[in-house]
Structure 1
Amino acid sequence: MPGCFLCCFSAQSAGTHRNPAFRIISLFDLHLFASSLSPESTTFMPPHTYNPVPVDGALSVLQVFEFQAKKNPQHPLFRYDSPSARDGYEDIAWPAAVRMFETTANVLRRRLAPAGLVEDEDRKRPVVGILAATGSILYASLIFGAVRAGLTAFPISTRNSDVAIAHLISQSGVRWLLVSPDAHMQELARKANALLQERGVSVEMHPIPTYEEISDMQGDLNADALPELGRIGDDEVLVIAHSSGSTSFPKVVPLTHRYMKTIRGTRPMDFSGWVQSSAGSAIFHAMGILSIVRAAYSGTILAFFPPTTSAVLATPERLLQSALATKCSTILCPPMFLEHYAKDPSSIEKLRTFSRVSFGGGALAQQVGDILEASGVALVPAYGSTETGSIAMMFTRMSFLTDKRHKEGWQYFEFVPGMDAILVSIDGDASKSLFQLIIKQSPMHALALPNMEIDGVPACDTRDIVQRHPMNPGLYRLYGRVDDQIMHSNGEKTNPGPIEQILAQNSLVKSAIMFGRARPHAGVLIVPAEEVRDREAFREAIWPTVEEANKFAPAHSRLFKEMIILFTPSKTFHLTSKGTPRRHAIIEDHTQEIEDAYVAFDETAGAGEMKLADAVEIVRFHVHTHINSGVADDGDVFEAGADSLLAARVRRGIMQSLSEPHLSVPEIAIQSLPNDVVFTFPTIGKLASFVYGVVFCAASLPQAGTPFMKNVPVSILDRKDDTIVRLSEPEKGEPPLILVHGGTGLIYAFAYMQTHFNSGLWAIQVTDETPRNSFVEQTDFYYRKIKEAQPTGPYRMSGYSAGAFMACRITKLLEANGDKVIQLALIDGSPFGPLTPRVGLDTSADFNDPQSLHAHYERSVRGVCRVFRAYNDAWWTKFAAAIWERWNGRLRLEDMTELMAWMYENLIGGTLRTFDYMLSQAEAAEEGRKGYGEVLAGMVKWTGEIRAPVTVYRAANGIIKNVPLEEKEKWGAFGVDWAKEEVRIVEVDANHSNILAQDDFVKDIQKFAH
């Protein structure tokens, strides 16, 4: 599920089923749980009388905070471990916590809007973003201090890429961004801000207040400067969260006052003796945000690490020590920590002292859960999402834990009482126990982001598959995902679709199904197209295709040869009604084969003479040597004090260690470690996995063997820093044909023309010097370079693909200067390219609307991918897949090869900049509308001003193939003939990639040479 607290995997769906058990669950009977706890099972030690919060809904969330401060002044909200304290911990009672929130509110109002906050035109709260690696107590104060100041707080995950952060800021309307002082957050903010500026989005950057500032109890509070603590509308957005981005680009999820208030239940709650260790979870997640609200309504005490301005690194040892020191009743931790604890009998003994051990954020391996459960650890899965809130009942009844859990299984949970759940049967499920889960909004369960309606009621299709307990129909466990995301035990996710598609391109492969849930890395089950007699020979035969897939895949998703297993012919190849493989059934049938593969890999894991353990030891040594000896394998090195200098030292040290002769690591693999590898993989575990993958695959950076680079002469490759590359010189008195690059910014495609052109040919390419902030800036730059190289006319201009538009603007600049252009050749492109008809094009859309504009951009990106796939070439197919994954935020720029990242920025960034320019040329319309018709009319007028003779070279199997059949004749010249009466059209029997290598084309384009 997007934004999932506990991750999930594969499925199919059809048919609706309602679970009758949901109708007999009483509404929010958590008070029963508290009264059923024995003194030995938890720590109920209130030294004072606790006054429960009224649940009639009259108090706003902020007023509930105030109620706690006034009615329960001795009761803590926060607790943290403190070795110097008498009891080993310190408490922050509600009055002090509320004062911290209000102090933060005052600091923010003074810094962000000294003249006073101004509401948006629609009277919405202004939005302040938070991008900070800081202590949990300070982070909570930033969030609820912003809310108290009359703002909407938007905590942004520090694990997002710069592109995702820029997307979230622009989508949410953030005015200010609070950034912590550490180098990593500062760099992320800087990169995101640069992307926003390219889009014309302005956001103010401010430092976060320090903990010392907000915890000053002696300072002047100036509470009068804050908004009156009155009624808050149910639809007011107090906090914005975002989905995890596990299945798509992160989505903005508004958390309204109504959404938060439904936590209160229908009866007063008293959990004042309940201490929850939350130090292992992030406050910027929805679960972290809601834990504060839940504590306000229930009286739960939240235990964190000591409050600091800088972040405290959570390690398994540190978390467990803190939870014990703060006398916690329960502990919440990620699955990887439980895997660590399961190997240590003393840690298991300590876990047994907790009444509940909740896990979330990833899948817990079956064997780990079995070990802990058999040892008496009370495991409870935490399952929910940003969009829906909690789904699994975390405060599970004690009788269930003690009497039933051993029999019924640690994976199972009860749904939150009062939640209206719809269960949709999974197509083809013989067990009748698998269901796709949909949550309907109800009076006791508000949804943050519905995505459908059922009987007129908002609902959220979670896309999760749950499995009903075979004996107890009121219990369920998380089984998988409809969209097949694979969650690994280290928290990384693999999107199997694109990788499987690349593998299936091999003629020897009928189908490919990836696996790896709750495992540290992925594997693949291959269904051969024909009978296989020699399995090793088959693996070798398909290995080149696996390498292509590994080049595309992020480091944690790369495939090792030992992890390729073959489908067993004697077993059933399960298919859905649509004829597609039933992933979960096939994988389940091969459970033993998969287990055997992981065991064998663990025993022999190595690339040449290097083992995975070697990579971990090498990385750990250099991190501990150069950064901090206390960094755990899963700890973020930048949170532990790393900066760019130390990161560079770690990289150099790793490269030196890999050069040791006994490891037999190829030099090409060593040199392929990217400069920013430590920033991309900031933990020892992730960095070691990447280093090992690089050594094993030797495929991190592109080599000269990349298919479309094979025939590129050195004269082009060596001129990468020259904006104008003179491929051939003209005869005296003859102007050269100046050819502008295509969308990728490269001129490799012009290699054939260089050797077959009889006249002068100059090519323009993108270099590091090229300004790419706007279409105008880039084409102005090319114009100046042309005038430097050829001060006077006449000129011959040409542009390939996206470069055709640039060639047109350069031509207009030359003509405006009084120069004559005697030839303008547009090669499978035109100024109207972004407006050509394509599937889903909405000609009634107003591009002033951000959603309409985004939809138009997305159709353009789809069209680009379609063109590249039509090349029927493995490399270009992989690039198309990378474009789509990158566009949707599932692939970071850092995880792409250097070449693909460069091409993506030129191609997709150029597409957006080009259309921005087209919008500026739109014909004036009523109320400033910029619709398809206005933009088209503006471009007709703009293009009609060109005086040079125009020839359109159209590839028969190129761009025109994207145009619907009924529109092909109308768009035969790509719209140029609408603007100019005389347009010469030449059709070339080629596709978009090879039109430049056709003799007929090369011969024709030289007609204007004399």
Structure 2
Amino acid sequence: MTRPVPPLDGSVRVWPGFADFHYAANPRGTCAQFFREDTGGIVRVTFEEFARASHRVAHALRADKCLKSGDVVALIALCDTLMYMALMVGMTRAGLIPFPISPRNSPVGIHSMLSKTGCRHLITTQSFLQPLIDACKVEFTTQCYEVTINEIPSFTEVFPLLGKETSSDPFEPFVLGDWNPDWDDPILYLHSSGSTGSPRAIAQTHRTALLWCSLPCVAEGRSYSRNIIWGSMMAPTFHALGVYTHLYSTFVTGFANALFSPQYPAPPIMPTPQNTLEAIKKSGANTAIVVPAFLEACAWVHSREAVDFLAQLEICAFGGGPLSSKVGNTLVEHGVKLNTLYGATEFGTLSSFFDVIPDSVIPGVIPKSPMDWSWVRFSDRLKLRWADQGNGTYELQIMTHDLHRPSVQNLPDLSGYATVGRLDDVLVLASGEKTVPLPMEGHILHNPLVQGALIFGTAREQVGVLVEPKPGYTLDPKDDKAVVEFRNRIWPTVEEANKDAPAFSRIFKEMILVTNPTKPMTRAAKGTVQRNKTLSLYASEINSLYDVVNSSMYGERTDLPSSWTPPVLLAWLQNQAQDIHSTDVKLGPTDDLFHRGFDSLSATFLRNRILGALRSSNHPNARRALAGVTQNMIYAYPTLEQLSQAVAALLMQQAPDDAAVMSPAESIEALVQRYSRNFPKPSILASLAVEGTVVLLTGSTGSLGSYILAELLGDERVRVVYALNRPSKDQSAPVRQKAAFRDKGLPLALLMSEKLVFIDGDASKPNLDIEADIYSKIHSSVTHIIHNAWKVDFNLALSSFETNIRATRGLIDFALTSKYGAQVKLVFVSSITVAQSWDYSNGSFPEDVLQDASYAVGGGYGEGKYVAERVPASETGLKCTTVRIGQICGGVPDGAWASTDWFPILVKSSITLQCLPDSSEDVSWIPMPAATQVMLDVSLAEEIQPIAINAVHPRPAKWRNIMKAISKALGESCGVLPLVPFKEWVQKLERCAGHNTTADDLNRIPALRILPFFQQVASRRAVIGEQGDVAEFTTDKCRAISASLDQLQVLDDGDAEMWVRYWRSKAFI
């Protein structure tokens, strides 16, 4: 027998018309059903009985002569779902516009929504909501907003013969007078959940509602061959999900709704995972439509019986938020046909419901793999536009057209709606990196001790997580011992979440904040945590946590080493470092921590733990040893073995034992010798004809690398560019490259060039760590190598740059063994920091590779660059040129200068310090366009080039003039910034780096993060030009090669204005 369904062509009005259609065509069909505990059986409400109930609602409401057709009537009620359904349809039948509102909203929010929709009438259940209604009355009076408040009809008035009514029972239909609303008039209002802020009213028109009935989520069910009973009892009808599942789904498909049993006159059943699962079982439902919180609940996922039951259902669907991939995959692996409902109040439910059933035969439905449960396929009825955001994401824009209309239209150019996910679903850190918290929160919620988890960190250096323990595990957050114990118990789950997260999104144990049981997380009606409200509730605690963590007074409570001897300290430090690192990678005693994945945050937390241990120790020298745990300590001793010896020496009131350690110059020379042995012989000695220039460019996604890549792609002499970049699990190289081009204003169209080939690899590993066939292709075609990739971190010691040095040697071996062998030209991007200890009484630094390593002693960055210069300068037979580039500054057209560079950091910090550093020396900064052109001129020149050239500005500018120009460009908004001696400026900086440095301090004074760098500048130990002091470098050879460099004009006020304008455009200053 064919199941009658209403036409969706507009000939039948939504809701009352649908109810009347089923009343006439399918009166004995089941509209809703539920299990009655008192009788032990299922009660079925027919379409006939439900339609009559809606007529009774209309009679009851229009008995109030104050109501007239077209009035908006708010519905704030705690009543059974069956009653709520009848109220919604009955209000519409009565010519009213229902506005269902969650009773979890505040009186202020309710008033706001009523006033914005012109709503002056409210029906409610005052006996259950008296405090809220009384508060609303006060708010309405305060705002001078008159609202008539009445009680909803009684359940027995609407359903006098529950489950037993037939056509022979007395019934008086409601007949509405002359009321014919336009298709674009509102049929109801819904409101957003409020999980991102204050809820807002959203109108649904008669046309919108009709078009939404044709969306695949419900319309596909009209052709489904097997009987469906919707298990949607947990969804509140005042929510868009509830409207879909309780009303649209039933009316459009003719399938029954399984509900909780009515409890009138008692309050309705409040859904929990347990009672929802039980109701699905007993009511005869063969689908489950729930929110993720229910599936995440451990009672479901950890109960094999519950999972086995879910596997028997036709479909188990969730909506309202994302589901943890671990939970979803576990359910699917046990046979659950899991599906995602993707939708919003603003545009309806766009996803399919039935495409997860492999054997369903529904026209237009393409079944998907069970493991694709989290993916959504959109219907052909939709008109979609994907707007590239330039960072690997695409904004889904839902366009208005004849077959679908969003309820909210916010596109500037066309009618339609756009959202890139919820704004609070992306945290933008102080570094500019973006963290998506939901997947990590899902992992943490999987822990049986956790009821709620919210990741925070907007505009901070690192993220943290606010955790709400489940009942039975709550604690006093002021009890440090209890907090540490709770952190340790959930730590394995957090570590698991960290494994799938990018490095900058890792959660450190110190950043776990536990909620106070007297301040539970606030939740929306659908069960999801209201992020903004909860974070606002805990703003003080979160700020305090960051202040403590960023203070050098901080030390995580942890087990102390049993003694302070090097062997015991080594074992203790291994445990601490491993705990902080939060990966499966084991840290050995001689491993360089920074090679194994440590970053500045990891180093900070390890240092904090050392400080904490010293403060808690009874050792007589512990307090005095604190001063020796400098900000740079982990960088200075990057292996755990070195660090244990250094800490032990502090307790013995000694300097670290350097007697057996080589001098800095000896360490540099040892690395030069290590990487200059056993070069392979060139594969050819005679010249081969070259079939066009094929360039291997490393580090193309960096700042200089992006400009070099753009020039290579636009150069007709270049046939192919292989862009070799180390792989990242966060974003692919093409995505990173596109973001870099967009940020720097480079033509994105160049990235579509057929000559560009991206390669994920690592030159420090054999065969570039790429697949054999790709390696063979590159190996047999490359004619030029531009080695630009290098870690930029002025805090690191020389040993931490060994991977970069090894990569340089790897590229030399690659070239020598390639098809073109010694014909390959290798251009290495070096730095003038190789001259950190140059004695300027000897004159300008020459354009040559000097053999005396003592001239390079200083920071590890410059020392490493020096080693890399020396290696290819050995007797390799290659045509090698080292290009020492000075400080690169922003150039035309927009002055782009990365805010992570030391000089922009200096400028921003100076605004807070209210002064700029002064110096009588010169600077030889080179604008980016000129630096890029030098690289092209050297790389693509046909004649043999010098072994080294110095690419610095040939016409230095006075530092003092640059500072005056910066002050002028900043303008009055930053105050008048006087110039003070550079040393005095650094002393001001040092005073801000006290024991109580806060996260806000680091944001306003980012120079604190690289304080040792500026201390070097002030003491004139660093390279003179690149770091803001005098620079004297011979440039004759470079000027002869590159006209762009030779013709550079002195930096002036116009350059400073460009830089400041660019930094302001990026909201940096």
Give the TM-score normalised by structure 1.
Answer: 0.43
Larger Rg: 2
